[in-house]
């Protein structure tokens, strides 16, 4: 199977600072680790998404990932840039736009207050992003922030955006699943109403605390399909964040999660008579300009 992973994280705490890492994630995840997590029979490529290192190291992160791109299959980089810093934002966007592997930017919204995406300074930075034809990864949590993304898309139709992790809905666990809420589905449709916005089928294993099953999560895929259509959905592993699972020894990294999640997404797509290769590869390549 061809797998273009639209949401791969890499980090090395001995090179860059990440104040959020803990437990099994407080380790190196780079070329050797991702190679061990991939199935050799599949064809792999990836888009690296910034891993929230210290903001002053955002460009260092780009340079480090670029240095291991050939050995990790990274064909595009979504760089970290704060979009609410005025002249500093303009300088940083000009810098990352010159890098040949940078295809987009993520200012992590999930940690910001509700309504932040409507802030005047942030909107100015988002407009600068659109002017440079760089994409924006919107990582949010909750219905209010989803509606903030919808409003951003309405006001900036030239800004190509992708919603990370379906907006992080509450999904329950494999043993105690939660059905998609009407509020989340309605907010997702509001985002999808804007044709420049895509959606990543990613991140739900982490939302389930590592205890997930395809049957549990397929209803969320179905809502996303109804909202976005098959041409604006893309596979993402969210590795290694979504690889954390529980065991008798405590939280550990599941080495098989990339393959298991790829199988879950591809099998669901095939069962709905969708273009599997489009969801697993082509849509991400088109969105990020890798085709």
Tens digits of per-residue pLDDT, 149-187? 999 999 999 999 999 999 999 999 999 999 999 999 999
Q: Which of 275, 261, 267 is nearest to 39 (CA)?
A: 261
- Round to whole Å and give the CA distance between 238 and 213: 16
Average pLDDT, integer, range 130-141: 98
Q: Which of 144, 234, 159 is nearest to 197 (CA)?
A: 159
Domain architecture of the chain: domains with CATH? 2-287 (3.20.20.140)
Structure token digits, residue 1: 């199977």
Structure token digits, residue 134: 């760089």
Q: Indicate whether 246 pLDDT > 90.
A: no
Distance of CA 268 to the CA centre of its chain: 19
Place of tokens 């970290």: 80
Q: Hey, what long-range contacts does 28-37 have (CB within 8 A, 24 or more apart)?
A: 29/239, 29/240, 30/68, 30/72, 31/68, 31/71, 31/72, 33/240, 34/8, 34/10, 34/72, 34/73, 34/239, 35/71, 35/72, 36/255, 37/239, 37/240, 37/243, 37/255, 37/256, 37/257, 37/258
What pTM, to 2 d.p., does this model score? Answer: 0.98
For residue 240, cis peptide bond before it (omega within 30 degrees of 0): yes
pLDDT at 142: 94
H or E element that contains 102: strand 102-106
């Amino acid at each position: 199977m061809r797998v273009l992973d639209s949401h791969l994280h890499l980090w090395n705490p001995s090179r860059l600072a990440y104040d959020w890492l803990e437990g099994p994630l407080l380790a190196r995840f780079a070329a050797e680790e991702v190679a061990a997590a991939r199935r050799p029979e599949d064809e792999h490529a990836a888009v690296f998404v910034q891993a929230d290192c210290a903001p002053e190291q955002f460009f260092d992160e780009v340079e480090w990932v670029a240095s291991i791109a050939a050995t990790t299959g990274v064909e595009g980089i979504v760089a970290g840039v704060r979009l609410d810093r005025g002249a500093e934002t303009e300088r940083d966007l000009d810098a990352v736009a010159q890098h040949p592997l940078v295809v987009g930017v993520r200012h992590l919204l999930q940690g910001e207050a509700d309504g932040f995406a409507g802030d005047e300074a942030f909107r100015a930075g988002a407009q600068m992003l659109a002017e440079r034809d760089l994409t924006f990864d919107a990582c949010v949590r909750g219905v209010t922030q989803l509606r903030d993304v919808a409003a951003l898309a309405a006001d900036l139709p030239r800004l190509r955006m992708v919603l990370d992790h379906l907006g992080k809905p509450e999904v329950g666990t494999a043993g105690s699943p939660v059905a998609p809420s009407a509020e989340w589905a309605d907010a997702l449709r509001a985002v999808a109403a804007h044709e420049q916005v895509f959606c990543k089928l990613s991140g739900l294993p982490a939302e389930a605390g590592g205890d997930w099953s395809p049957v549990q999560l397929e209803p969320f895929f179905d809502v996303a399909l109804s909202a976005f259509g098959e041409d604006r959905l893309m596979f993402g592993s969210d590795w290694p964040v979504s690889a954390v699972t529980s065991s008798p020894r405590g939280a550990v990294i599941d080495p098989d999660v990339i393959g298991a999640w790829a199988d879950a997404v591809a099998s669901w797509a095939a069962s709905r008579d969708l273009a599997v290769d489009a969801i697993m590869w082509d849509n991400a390549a088109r969105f990020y300009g890798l085709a």
